[in-house]
Chain A
Amino acid sequence: MTATTESGRKQPFIYRLPVISHFRTSVGLQRGMLVTGLVLTVVFLLTAAFAPVIAPYGFAQLSDASGTFPAQQPPSAAHIWGTTVGGYDVYSRVLWGAQTAFVVIVVAVVMSIFLGVALGLLSGYFGGWLDRVLVVIADAIYAFPSLLLAIVMSIVINRGQSSFWGGIVACSVSISVVFVPQYFRVIRAETIRLKAEPYVESAKVVGASSIRIMGRHIFKNATRTLPLIFTLNASEAILTLAGLGFLGFGIEPTSAAEWGFDLNKAIADASSGIWWTGVYPGTAIVLTVLGLTLVGESMNDLNDPRLRGRRKSVGKTPAGGPDSTAGAQAALEAESRVL
């Protein structure tokens, strides 16, 4: 609780950034999980950023100077992860796919964060009929299977198929529709809790306007859990995108590379012993999702003093000082909630 903010101000800004501060407070297995997640995520981000440099061919390239690519070719020197039934280079498409996934995550999560946070603040702070209507809508969206909803949105926006940006926007919007209620719920719950905090009441007593209270007092305090939801939702966004692509509602292979679409085309290959078309994009999805989830889950554990592991206090000289017992008291209070 306060323990994480206690020493906050004295440290340089960089150490207070979400992931970095988490890394510094972690020990043992938790640090291992966080590091694994971070490595996988960084590899994903680098691949997305440098796909045009690393990939030997374009995502829609079917031929080069030496002629047309052979179809369903096993891994070889020219095509290190082989080629697909359509003659695409699997290695290049997996690399380019990271770029598509990254763009979709950013667009989807940014859209849903802005809308979700704004609606959550308004709904939680004002309550009344606005709150009731928004909660019912959010619940109704929850009741829908999210993939089905995404398919419907995709059809509505782009009739299923489209260009690079058209496809990305369609995917992002369909993903946001599913995510907005999540952000809405979290921010609304936090706002309702913070509304009863004495510092919000003290602002009310002073005569602060609702907009000032929401912007200055509630917003900053309510959004502290967002980095966490962001990472967890990013992995879910990838799964939804892959799911859409797999079902054929994704992006045309000529517009962008997309892992789900490639998996879909690899179904027929699997039974005829052609493993490389499915394994590589599948592994890419698994590792990316695993990386993001590990980061998110570790942050979740590290945010909670009860779940956070600490080094044993043997053989070291304690910090001491007049504040030390008060610090211990705070630590004990945080711990004693477990008992």
Chain B
Amino acid sequence: MTTNIDRPGPVSGPVLDIDHLKVTFATDGGDVYAVRDVSLEVNPGEVVAIVGESGSGKTVTAKTILGLLPETATSQGAVLINGNNIISVSAAKLQQIRGRDVAMVFQEPSTALNPVFTVGWQIAEGIRAHADAVSGKKISAKEAKARAVEALGKVGIPDPETRVNYYPHQFSGGQKQRVVIAAALALNPGLIVADEPTTALDVTVQAEILELLRDLRDIYGTSIVLITHNMGVVADLADRVVVMYQGDVVEEAPSRVLFAQPREEYTKKLLAAVPHLGRNSASEGMTERAHQGGKVLVEAKNLTIEYPGRLGTPAFKAVDGVSFTVSEGEVFGLVGESGSGKTTIGRAIAGLNRTTGGSLKVLGYEMLNFKERTFKPLRKDIGFVFQDPAASFNPQLTIGDCVAEPLIIHGNPTPAEARKRVGELLESVQLPASYADRFPHELSGGQRQRASLARALILNPKLLIADEPTSALDVSVQAVVLELFKEIQREFGFAALFISHDLAVVDILSPWVGVLYKGKMVEQGMGNQVMGNPQHAYTKKLIASLPVPDPDEQARRREAFREVLHS
């Protein structure tokens, strides 16, 4: 076959060989390095994970493998795929290589698929863009569709012959990600680059996708470059791990070795910061719910919250008959996947959402008859920490102005008094008081979240609602913020409703945990009991799905939980 000279048969050497890669971006502030010096190899049938925090250059590296960098980027070095250097090949050649030799799985499956075409068409598009590997001829539409059906079958979509004609919105999030993987697999590339393939998915769905990726490697011998920040995912799937920090490779080791004996200081710190289910639990050694003698600050009885439907469709029940209490000084952890109603409950307590049924008493105020005017005096006793610290500060105001805002609204302090109090609060969240003069964009994510905590606490509230306060942060920053949160809670003694999707994080902070599923509270209990001996089928599945950052333990768990996951 003379037409396919550059496509070798069975590969013996590495499928991907990155040699001293450097990537520079031209920005308004001058040139910046995204990747300084990265060299790595991926062998056939190997899963290599590139891990690192945001800004470490892992995504840029992944995009370079497919030649997807924007025009402002300049890359040096070599990225060899089957002998072709991606950095220097022509555009036409690059187009041939993409899809045939290397394919990509994106983070967000709902935006990676075009909503106006059927999934079959989208998979076939890639197949028809390349000539047939054997005959060298163009592939007919019929043949391409047949291959799309085959690809859908491979990734475990049931009834692929019918489903091939479905549109993306007819699939669930996990199935969409399967379709994206099917599209990547359609031409049987030797290498798949998966950029945070499970980050946008719920943890139970994540487990399924990870299993699918593992099967791909085992059955078809596909190599995978896995870009992720989640050490649990790495432990579950990767054979070899490359740790990146600020554009450089810090450490490279087989997965087992890296988790057991990290060599570099940075890796040790990173691994120590990863929350591990069952370790460092807030309820360790406790058998009874604490703080039950105190006043009940939040009391939900059969609470129902509905969002009105569009004309003709029934209202959507976001929260369905939930009952719980939060007493003075207690930290209540609320866990659930996306759409479980956990955020809605938090917002309802803060008066941002209206309740529609049952009863919700906040500091003795019945939220069913909510009026902003009558509720306003109570607001000084409620603090709220939002998920995204970048968005929860007005970009036009200084940190000092933002933190002082509650003080100015509820009291009438002189500027000097306000300044003094802001300084005190910033120091108690371990930020220098001089940061009051800075603007939000001049702080890092973790610093902003601390300032956000300072703002929530400036009036000494009785109740703090924290809605996923660490999910937008890097894992090492998350560990510091969680530790700070724990300390401050002990010092100030406020009650808190801690909302998160991450079981391990909730377990670190809250002795008492409630699990939400589709608007219903399926289980409530001591943290160590819910995590150690879950009663409800959903909780069992949730805990089984959560990968722990330890390859050996995770392999054992995978075997042990196989049944739970497939129920």
- A joins B in a complex: yes
- The docked-state distance in angstroms from the alpha carbon of A6 to that of B32 is 14
User: How many whole Å from B65's CB to the nearest CB in chain A?
Assistant: 15
Q: Tell me whether A331 and B246 are in contact (CB under 8 A).
A: no
- The docked-state distance in angstroms from the alpha carbon of A339 to that of B70 is 8
A272 sits at the interface (CB 8 A): no
Considering the complex, give the chain B residue whose CB is closest to the CB of A320.
B33
Q: Using an 8 Å CB-CB cutoff, how does the interface string of A55-70 with B read, 1 for contact, 0 for none?
A: 0000000000000000
- The docked-state distance in angstroms from the alpha carbon of A331 to that of B75 is 15
Q: Name the B residues within 8 Å of A5 (CB-CB).
A: 395, 441
Given known A-B contacts A207-B380, A208-B409, A331 and B32 have beta carbons under 8 A apart: yes
Instruction: Tell which of B23-31, B162-170, B273-281, B532-540 binds the partner.
Output: B23-31
Besides A320-B33, A339-B70, 7 more A-B contacts (Cβ < 8 Å) are: A198-B388, A198-B392, A205-B384, A212-B409, A313-B24, A331-B72, A339-B68
Q: Which 4 A-B pairs have the closest CB atoms?
A: A207-B379, A328-B34, A335-B70, A313-B26
- The docked-state distance in angstroms from the alpha carbon of A319 to that of B59 is 21
Q: Tell me whether B70 and A319 are in contact (CB under 8 A).
A: no
A255 sits at the interface (CB 8 A): no
Given known A-B contacts A313-B74, A332-B60, A339-B70, A205 and B352 have beta carbons under 8 A apart: yes
Q: Using an 8 Å CB-CB cutoff, how does the interface string of A285-317 with B read, 1 for contact, 0 for none?
A: 000000000000000000000000011111011
List B residues 35-73 near A (Cβ within 8 Å).
54-57, 59-60, 63, 68-73
Q: Name the A residues within 8 Å of B74 (CB-CB).
A: 312-314
User: How many whole Å from A337's CB to the nearest CB in chain B?
Assistant: 10
Interface centre among B34, B68, B384 (most CB of A within 10 A): B34
Query: Which A residues lie at the B interface, using CB under 8 A?
Result: 2-9, 25, 197-199, 201-209, 212, 216-217, 220-221, 310-314, 316-320, 322, 324-329, 331-332, 335-336, 338-339
List 28 contacting pairs A-B, 8 Å CB cutoff, sorted by A: A6-B28, A7-B29, A8-B439, A25-B28, A198-B392, A201-B386, A201-B392, A202-B392, A205-B351, A205-B382, A206-B455, A209-B409, A212-B409, A216-B397, A310-B72, A311-B26, A312-B74, A313-B26, A314-B74, A318-B24, A319-B31, A319-B32, A325-B34, A325-B57, A327-B25, A327-B32, A328-B60, A331-B25
B259 sits at the interface (CB 8 A): no
- The docked-state distance in angstroms from the alpha carbon of A198 to that of B387 is 9
User: How many whole Å from B114's CB to the nearest CB in chain A?
Assistant: 14
List B residues 476-500 near A (Cβ within 8 Å).
none
> Secondary structure of the A side of the interface?
helix
User: How many whole Å from A192's CB to the nearest CB in chain B?
Assistant: 16
Q: Tell me whether A197 and B352 are in contact (CB under 8 A).
A: no
- The docked-state distance in angstroms from the alpha carbon of A3 to that of B32 is 13
B410 sits at the interface (CB 8 A): yes
Q: Tell me whether B72 and A335 are in contact (CB under 8 A).
A: yes
Q: Name the B residues within 8 Å of A326 (CB-CB).
A: 54-55
Q: Tell me whether A204 and B54 are in contact (CB under 8 A).
A: no
B405 sits at the interface (CB 8 A): yes
Q: Using an 8 Å CB-CB cutoff, how does the interface string of B404-438 with A read, 1 for contact, 0 for none?
A: 01100110000000000000000000000000000
User: How many whole Å from B354's CB to the nearest CB in chain A?
Assistant: 13
Given known A-B contacts A198-B388, A319-B31, A327-B32, A207 and B441 have beta carbons under 8 A apart: no
List B residues 367-415 near A (Cβ within 8 Å).
376, 379-380, 382, 384, 386-388, 391-397, 402, 405-406, 409-410
Given known A-B contacts A201-B352, A205-B379, A208-B405, A328 and B33 have beta carbons under 8 A apart: yes
Q: Name the A residues within 8 Å of B380 (CB-CB).
A: 207
- The docked-state distance in angstroms from the alpha carbon of A191 to that of B208 is 41
Q: Tell me whether A332 and B34 are in contact (CB under 8 A).
A: yes
Q: Name the A residues within 8 Å of B69 (CB-CB).
A: 332
Given known A-B contacts A9-B439, A202-B455, A318-B24, A329 and B388 have beta carbons under 8 A apart: no
